[in-house]
Amino acid sequence: MPALAEPRTAPLLQARGLHAWYGEIEAVCGIDLDVNEGAIVALLGANGAGKTSTLRALTGAVKTGGTVAFAGSPLNGAPEDAARRGVAHVPEGRGTLSSLTVGENLALGGYLTNDRKRFAQRYERVAGYFPWIAERRSQAAGTLSGGEQQMLAIARALMMEPKMLLLDEPSLGLGPMIVRDIFALLRTINERDGVTILVAEQNATVALASADHAYILEAGRIAMHGPSAELAQNDQVRRVYLGY
Ligand SMILES: Nc1ncnc2c1ncn2[C@@H]1O[C@H](COP(=O)(O)OP(=O)(O)OP(=O)(O)O)[C@@H](O)[C@H]1O
Ligand SMILES: [Mg+2]
């Protein structure tokens, strides 16, 4: 029986033979990736391993080969299609618009709904996760601290009311305390709202502590994957990615 006939057991996101190309450069070389509904999955790897390119390939933001199914039917390879279907991408470097205010950035995140009441409900839910946002609504995003900008980027993605969040190195450039807070918040969002999360990280220690399952990328290929707890015990993973 084909997998699509068993929607309850099929992963929410399923990539098969996924490639990413930049011209002649093959950054992702035909990987298979499953993300179960309700899971937090980490995508680990060193600089240049292909984490960003994998996230881009999943939504079609780069030249892509292979197939990606979401909630049982194929994504058509356009980032707008992924967004409409409920996949929100928080890109590397956050992607907040620095000259716009916090409130305007959030409004951009909610652009797919014209329903004002629904927009207001989403805003209330998001502001519940980030209480500081209420006081900073008219502050230019570019004047926020790095940690606040990362939170704003997550808040903006949540304004889409996504089924799934793709996050690209949320820890980038941030201190250990704020990184811990951000990952704790991601777990809360996952548990409370049932948002499935795929997070690319170089910080394997923090990512493995939060994720159920992890994939390790090396030069565009999956070197290893499995439950986070098992990977954290693996000698090679510990030596190369955890540093002990
Ligand atoms: N726009 C681009 N044009 C050409 N090559 C690119 C481009 N973006 C990425 N690459 C190449 O693709 C490969 C994978 O890069 P990618 O950014 O996906 O890695 P990464 O795992 O996200 O690294 P980092 O941890 O540094 O963000 C690298 O060899 C990189 O040089
Ligand atoms: Mg990257």
Taking CA atoms only, the protein residue closest to ligand 1 atom 28 is 48
**Distance from the alpha carbon of residue 188 to the mean position of ligand 1, in angstroms:** 30
- Which of 19, 21, 22 should be mutated for ligand 1, with most atoms under 8 A from CB? 22
In this prediction, residue 4 carries a pLDDT of 54
Q: What residues pack around ion ligand 2 (CB closer than 5 A)?
A: 51-52, 92
pTM here is 0.93
The pLDDT confidence band at residue 242, using thresholds 50, 70 and 90, is confident
Which domains are delineated in the chain? 12-86+162-244 (3.40.50.300), 89-161 (no CATH)
Reported for 179-186, long-range contacts at CB under 8 A and 24+ positions apart, including other chains, are: 179/203, 179/206, 180/206, 181/147, 182/147, 182/150, 182/151, 182/154, 183/207, 183/209, 183/210, 185/129, 185/151, 185/154, 186/40, 186/154, 186/210
The pLDDT confidence band at residue 106, using thresholds 50, 70 and 90, is very high
Taking CA atoms only, the protein residue closest to ligand 1 atom 17 is 52
- Which ligand is closest in space to the CA of residue 23? 1
Q: How far is CA 242 from CA 42, 55, 82, 159, 231, in A?
A: 14, 23, 33, 34, 10
- Which of 21, 25, 172, 215 should be mutated for ligand 1, with most atoms under 8 A from CB? 25
